[in-house]
């Protein structure tokens, strides 16, 4: 049995089992990981992969699983203990300016800059409502690049805003085409392979020294600045999923 979409899955949930296929995205709600675990335990093939869906939905999970590709000293802060440990770590490494990224917040709205981790801790000590989040050093003089990867289709473009350190186009930035070299293509491919992404929207930061760092990755995202249309890209993504399903049942 091949099930398409979350509505059909929930309607037939008790009947699915080993050998069945679920094609679709389980929404970013609190039940997501539990549904994924249950489907995996029951032998249901999920496409896109459960791992890619979990990673795609959370910046904090990305900082845990994909940390080696991120800015050095990037940390996932899950609770106050993690933050007080980060104060010592960042001071020991003489890192002052830092950035926090609120989990599950998009379009740059959850990104905040702080003059020190100590300032951040003083603010957070009055409230526990903003945990978990990502903490990383603030870097300047970098190129912000959005990469759209769907098998053989790869498109990339820069995002730039001279008036805001948040480069997102939603924050008022502009875009221009960017040609990825082979090293950056390999970088994106390695991140996708680790997260088992069949396709992805990948945000990377390239420094003046040509060092490449992962900012964020998702199964879907905005296309403002891209040449490809939403309809065309959705068609390419569905073709990839259809091929995965076909190969699994042949």
Look at residue 236 and tell me if it is in a domain. no
Boundary-marking domain end, from 137, 157, 182: 137
The verdict on 192 and 129 lying in the same domain is: no
Mean pLDDT over residues 93-119, rounded?
87
CA separation for the pair 160, 143 (Å, rounded): 8
The verdict on 107 and 148 lying in the same domain is: no
Q: What average pLDDT is seen over the chain?
A: 90
Mean pLDDT over residues 23-52, rounded?
87
Domains: count for the chain: 3
pLDDT of residue 196: 97
The verdict on 132 and 146 lying in the same domain is: no
Look at residue 234 and tell me if it is in a domain. no
In this model, does residue 250 exceed pLDDT 80? Answer: no
Mean pLDDT over residues 16-35, rounded?
84
* pLDDT tens readout for residues 197-224: 999 999 999 998 999 999 999 999 988 8
pLDDT of residue 6: 87
Look at residue 198 and tell me if it is in a domain. yes
**H or E segment at 183?**
helix 182-195
pLDDT of residue 83: 93
Specify the CATH number for the domain of residue 81. Answer: 3.30.1490.20
The verdict on 92 and 52 lying in the same domain is: no
Tokens of 250: 């042949």
CA separation for the pair 223, 233 (Å, rounded): 10
Full residue range of the structural domain in which residue 190 is found? 141-227
Boundary-marking domain end, from 137, 166, 191: 137
* pLDDT tens readout for residues 184-199: 999 999 999 999 999 9
Strand ranges inside the chain, DSSP E:
2-4, 21-23, 45-47, 75-77, 98-102, 111-114, 133-137, 142-150, 153-160, 174-177, 200-207, 212-218
Query: Order of strands across the sheet with 153-160?
Result: 174-177, 153-160, 142-150, 200-207, 212-218
pLDDT of residue 30: 67
Q: How confident is the model at residue 165 (pLDDT cuts 50, 70, 90)?
A: low
Specify the CATH number for the domain of residue 148. Answer: 3.30.470.20
Look at residue 194 and tell me if it is in a domain. yes
Reduced to 3 states (helix: H, G, I; strand: E, B; else coil), residue 147 is strand
In this model, does residue 172 exceed pLDDT 70? Answer: no
CA separation for the pair 45, 241 (Å, rounded): 12
Look at residue 64 and tell me if it is in a domain. no
| Residue listed under structure tokens 């979350």 | 6
User: How much of the chain exceeds pLDDT 90, in percent?
Assistant: 65
Look at residue 232 and tell me if it is in a domain. no
């Amino acid at each position: 049995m091949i099930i398409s979409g979350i509505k059909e899955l929930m309607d037939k949930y008790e009947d699915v089992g080993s050998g069945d296929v679920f094609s679709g995205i389980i929404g970013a709600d609190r039940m997501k990981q539990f549904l994924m675990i249950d489907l995996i335990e029951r032998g249901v093939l999920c496409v896109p992969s459960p791992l890619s869906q979990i990673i795609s939905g959370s910046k904090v999970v990305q900082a845990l699983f994909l940390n080696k590709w991120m800015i050095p000293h990037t940390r996932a802060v899950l609770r106050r203990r993690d933050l007080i440990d980060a104060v010592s770590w960042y001071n020991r490494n003489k890192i002052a300016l830092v950035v926090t990224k609120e989990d599950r917040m998009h379009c740059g709205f959850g990104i905040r800059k702080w003059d020190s981790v100590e300032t951040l801790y003083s603010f957070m000590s009055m409230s526990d409502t903003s945990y978990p989040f990502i903490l990383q050093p603030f870097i300047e003089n970098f190129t912000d690049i959005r990469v759209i990867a769907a098998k053989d289709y790869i498109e990339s473009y820069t995002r730039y805003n001279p008036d805001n350190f948040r480069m997102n186009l939603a924050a008022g930035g502009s875009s221009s085409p960017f040609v990825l070299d082979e090293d950056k293509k390999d970088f994106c491919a390695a991140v996708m392979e680790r997260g088992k992404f069949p396709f992805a929207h990948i945000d990377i930061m390239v420094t003046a020294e040509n060092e490449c760092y992962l900012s964020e990755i998702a199964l879907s995202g905005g296309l403002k600045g891209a040449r490809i249309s939403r309809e065309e890209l959705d068609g390419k993504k569905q073709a990839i999923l259809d091929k995965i399903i076909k190969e699994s049942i042949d």
